[in-house]
Amino acid sequence: MQGRKILVTGGTGQVARPVAESLAEDNEVWCLGRFGDLAARKALEARGVRTATWDMATDELGEVPRDFTHVLHSAVHRGDGKDFEEAARINAVATARLMTHCRSAESFLYVSSGVVYNRADRTHRYRESDPLGGAAPWLPTYPVAKITAEGVVRGLAEALSLPAVIARLNIAYGPYGHGGVPMILFKEMRGGQPCAVPREGQNYCNLLHTDDVVRQVPLLWAVARTPARVVNWGGDEEVGITDLLEHMSALTGVPVRLDRNDYSRETAIFDHDVRRSLIGDCSVGWRTGIARTLAALFPEYRDRIDAHVDAHKAASSN
């Protein structure tokens, strides 16, 4: 993608930051945010990204230009878990302001989440048309925030004739920010904390490496339409969380303690038919992607990880 004018929200976040940095090489990219993390703002600017302060809870878009060709709306107010009214209002109003402000754009991409699904069955492959109404006991306001914003995207895509895509992200991970759920789990392992897993079986997800996120954002923009298109957005492979923990342990030598209980944080797996038909397959396999991410974020384990990867390659070529 070249020569386009792109607006990104959530540009200091784990998902949108690598996208903004990569696109800034050949496009005019603006990031909006509060920039509590000044180092992240400076790093974005050093990569050629223009930044402007915007708090989605309170601010209009004022002096921000309007002539963007593409918008990536990745910022989220997840809420405090208690105030549903506030979570719904902030995400809905901010999304409405953005879409209205950028109504002449060619494409608007909203990053939603698999948390919107009513996830009753650990082995079901959720389709875009499946029942909504997800519950998240770990942060009950979060699914409400995402479902509410999805509604605004649907409504304004048609009311403003603004082509839109709602991409329901599974679990993104990679060497940015906190690294995603896998790296948060690794930090728990390293701290000697037990990792919560189900009593029987395991939770599954579709890990998506940020390299694929970066590559796929322009592809998603290209399939925006009115009415808004809804796409499940996850990695090709179904990854067991317990398998993930054991893989990270084998790579680094950090022991994993499994806490088999009834309250592990559930994940979901997606049906990929819509995504595959629109933007194709992913390019980073989860075992390789996790090894690369651990080596980038925890360099003290790099030699051990490299040795493990080499030994695995040698064994599989014999």
**Residues in the site for ligand NDP, rule: CB under 6 A?**
9-16, 33-36, 54-57, 74-77, 111, 113, 146, 169, 171-172, 177, 180
Q: Which residue is nearest to ligand NDP (CB)?
A: 13
Q: How far is the CB of 148 from ligand NDP (least distance, A)?
A: 12
The whole-angstrom separation of Cα 112 and Cα 90 is 15
Closest separation between CB of residue 107 and ligand NDP, Å? 17
Tally of CB atoms within 10 A around 311: 10
Nearer to ligand NDP, 113 or 202 (CB): 113
**Closest CB to ligand NDP among residues 77, 229:** 77
At closest approach, how far in Å is the CB of 205 from ligand NDP? 9
Identify which of residues 271 and 312 has a Cβ nearer to ligand NDP in the complex: 271
Which residues, other chains included, contact 96 with Cβ-Cβ below 8 Å and sequence gap of 6+?
152, 156
- Report the nearest approach of ligand NDP to the CB of residue 203 (Å): 14
57: nearest Cα among 37, 81, 75: 75
Q: 292: closest CA among 253, 243, 254, 251?
A: 251
| CB of 15 or CB of 185, closer to ligand NDP | 15
- Residue 163 or 235: the one with the smaller Cβ distance to ligand NDP is 235
Strand ranges (E), the chain: 5-9, 28-33, 50-53, 70-73, 107-113, 125-126, 164-169, 171-173, 195-198, 204-205, 207-209, 229-233, 239-240, 258-261, 269-270
Closest to ligand NDP by CB, 78 vs 287, is 78
Residue 154, classified by CB atoms within 10 Å of its CB into exposed (0-12), middle (13-18) or buried (19+), is middle
Q: List the structure tokens of 264.
A: 């592990």
Q: Give the whole-angstrom CA distance, residue 209 versus residue 224.
A: 22
The distance of closest approach from Cβ of residue 253 to ligand NDP in the complex, given in angstroms and rounded to an integer, is: 26
Please, what is the minimum distance in Å from the beta carbon of residue 190 to ligand NDP?
20
Distance CA(170)–CA(161), nearest Å, equals 28
